[in-house]
Amino acid sequence: MEHPPRSFGTASISLTVPEASQGLRLDHFLTHLQEGVSRSHIIGAIKGGLVLVNGAAVKAGHKLKAGDAISGSLAVRPAVDPPPVPQDIEFAIIYEDEAVLVVDKPPNLVVHPGSGNREGTLINGLLHRYHDLAGVGDQDRPGIVHRLDKDTSGLLVVARTREALRTLVRDFKQRRVSKIYVALVHGTPDREEGLIAEPIGRHPIHRQKMAVRPIDGRPAISRWRVLQRYGTYSLCEIAIETGRTHQIRVHLASIGHPVAGDRLYGSGRNNDLFPRQMLHAWKLVFAHPVTGESMSFVAPLPADFNRVLEVLQVDRC
């Protein structure tokens, strides 16, 4: 059976950048604003000179200023994949109001659908509980401001309106959000605390990995301190000033203390002892996108993490 050809339309753009979007990348700004257009299509249009800022062609990563005039057009294509379906997924909501949600994501839960993985994600569960979330931002990632790896547990903030999404994305980009993690790592650092300021970029050979890239990496800063020592393991607190992909895992591995159970960066050391990578997003502090009030949340260590610590404590005695 032959399928009819897909129809392609165009979306004209004539926008003025508001104060709240100061500092955002052009592609991020348009992705959160334009329904029915994927980020990859937006980037293609920018590269092709179809989108102008103040009448000039710029790069996708161009940082916007309040008052900038954006004009041009985008090709609107039907989504390749259907939108995520609502599903009853188990996770805890620790705060909600009309603008934001704060989720305590359990381990082994993917945040949003991807290629070949359309169901069983946090987004499917959020759409089941909050039907109006579907129109907030990207189709596959409605409301998502930042992400956690599948095996990482802990706190995520989710926007419930487009305005909240734009504001929170801006605040994350401008490093106005405090993100503190807890990690169990291999080894015992010879200091009680330290700073890792090493640029991170895509691994030159293993493209599914990130790596410290001094020449062409993007700036990344992580601060760590030891909370508890367990023989050949240490429990550490890590505060990140940037949010690069796999930042904590790459940084800790680079100083010889990879996250326990990390099968991608941990060199396979004693991974069978751990149910997953032992990394937890413990504390999150941000300004409410509507009121500006400082919001602070803490997620206790999940049961699987505590069980590992109990075993290590017994072994140490």
Q: 201 is written with which tokens?
A: 């970029």
Q: What is the mean pLDDT of the chain?
A: 89
Band the pLDDT of 7: cuts 50, 70, 90: very low
Cα-flanking dihedrals φ and ψ of residue 150, to 5°? -50, -45
To the query of whether residue 68 is one of the catalytic residues in this protein, the response is no
* Structure letter (DSSP) for residue 4: P
What the chain holds in terms of domains, given with CATH numbers, is: 9-76 (3.10.290.10), 92-142+153-159 (no CATH), 178-286+291-316 (3.30.2350.10)
Distance CA 269, CA 287 (A): 40
> How many other CB atoms are there within 10 angstroms of residue 167's CB atom?
24
pLDDT at 2: 35
pLDDT at position 88 over 50: yes
Band the pLDDT of 317: cuts 50, 70, 90: low
Distance CA 93, CA 96 (A): 7
pLDDT at 220: 95
Distance CA 219, CA 209 (A): 17
pLDDT at 207: 74
pLDDT in tens, 27-39: 888 877 765 566 7
Residue of 27, 68, 104, 149 with catalytic role:
149
| Residues of the chain above pLDDT 90, percent | 64
pLDDT in tens, 202-225: 888 887 899 999 998 999 999 999
224-253 CB burial, b ≥16 within 10 A, e <16: bebeebbeebbbbbbbbebebebbbbbbbb
